[in-house]
Amino acid sequence: MAGNWKMYKTPAETVAFFEKFRPLVENSSHCEIVICPSFTNLQAAVGAAKGSAIQVGAQNVAWAKEGAFTGEVSGPMLNAVGASHAIVGHSERRQYFNETDETVLKRTQGALEFGLTPIVCIGEVLADRESGRTEAVLAGQFQKGIAGLTEQQFAKIVIAYEPVWAIGTGKTATPEIAAETHRAIRAQVREKFGKDAADSVRILYGGSVKPDNAKVLMGQPEIDGVLVGGAALDPVSFASIVNF
Ligand code: 13P
């Protein structure tokens, strides 16, 4: 159960969130919990999560260890502040910051090389869905991105399926649509990495996940977890999703 805070919250607001959130998920041993704040809040989040099972992730990661890459933050830097995960290839990065399947692959490899668990995002836009091209688009993102990993690398990633038309719009994919799309992604995985990899990879759903739809989404066997934006900013609502 992962929360993507996007570009929200200060360090003080981060600490305040954890104070309220921690007791609400103290007994939530049925799942892993990851919160991904902005880079500037990572240290505060790791400190505030200390002693709990809550893990902290970044929202992006560079492919290089260090160097002349203004504005980038590397895997070793994230490790050094105690982050364990990194979101890679979020649709907002693809849409506004020219992230491509190629850079998504490089960043995923960068995360893995430096011991972070990448949460690799794929998803179609509304026009793709409406023109019946969803599976082709996802297959393209998979082939050009994730499929470039080795089997050993693939075994360490988490995939997040986020239909772009469902992000921040209040339009959730129906559980059936989400499950069907997860099945199609899993079929791609099976074809490239084999049955065991397909059976064990975790595929999260993201896009307008809220306390009132988390249970039915999580009720789909194909959906292994969720990547939550807006509803993860509030401790009570994210805890209620975690404890669906
Ligand atoms: P919302 O939950 O706000 O729709 O955002 C989803 C998302 O983009 C998570 O990465």
Please report which confidence band the pLDDT of residue 25 belongs to, taking 50, 70 and 90 as the band edges. very high
Least confident of 76-90, 170-184, 214-228: 170-184
Q: What is the pLDDT of residues 164-189, one digit of tens each?
A: 999 988 888 899 999 999 999 999 99
Q: What pLDDT is stored for residue 170 in this prediction?
A: 85
Residue nearest to atom 5 of ligand 1 (CA): 229
237: CA distance to ligand 1 center in Å? 14
Q: What is the mean pLDDT of residues 224-232?
A: 98
Q: What is the mean pLDDT of residues 12-37?
A: 98
Q: What CATH number is attached to the domain comprising 169?
A: 3.20.20.70
Q: What pLDDT is stored for residue 96 in this prediction?
A: 97
Please report which confidence band the pLDDT of residue 91 belongs to, taking 50, 70 and 90 as the band edges. very high
| Residue 60 Cβ < 6 Å to ligand 1 | no
In one-letter notation, the amino acid at residue 187 is: A
Q: What pLDDT is stored for residue 132 in this prediction?
A: 95
Do the Cβ atoms of 194 and 172 come closer than 8 Å?
A: no
80: CA distance to ligand 1 center in Å? 27
Q: What is the pLDDT of residues 200-218, one digit of tens each?
A: 999 999 999 999 999 999 9
Q: How many domains, the chain?
A: 1
| Residue 229 Cβ < 6 Å to ligand 1 | yes
- Owning domain of residue 232: 2-242
